[in-house]
Structure 1
């Protein structure tokens, strides 16, 4: 085995996601938003509680 065989696979380029809301619904904890990145189509779930900015409940999923 050579050093080339042990290199890590390439990683997708990182970018700042531009989240848009696909859907939203109210819960007892606040509003839950299902959002999608317009650039790469990654998705995540956010919780929007009262006057605070949305908090991600999941990491971005491809």
Structure 2
């Protein structure tokens, strides 16, 4: 992998399975609730944001791993 942690491309193996996301931490912002999540299986991470708590969060970053 090359680049800074924020721009690294995930390994090809990370895209082989459906990720099971675990919330590592979360906080409220002006954009909604930001969640830092990690795949329980492969450890890849991403950042999600939910504009309204009742809405399923959507990824706002690429998967990092």
Matched pairs, number: 52
Match of 1:57 in 2: 60
- Contiguous gaps of at least 5 residues in structure 2: 1-11
Q: CA RMSD in A?
A: 1.3
Regions of 4+ moved over 6 Å:
none
Q: Name the SS of the counterpart of 2:19 in structure 1.
A: coil
Q: TM-score, normalised by structure 1?
A: 0.77
Following TM superposition, by how much is the alpha carbon of 1:52 offset from its aligned partner in structure 2, in angstroms?
2.0
Indicate the structure whose relative CO is greater, using CA pairs within 8 Å and at least 6 residues apart. 2
Whether 2:39 is the aligned partner of 1:34: answer: no
| Greater radius of gyration (CA) | 1
- Contiguous gaps of at least 5 residues in structure 1: 1-10
Partners of 2:34 and 2:64 lie apart in 1 by 17
Q: TM-score, normalised by structure 2?
A: 0.74
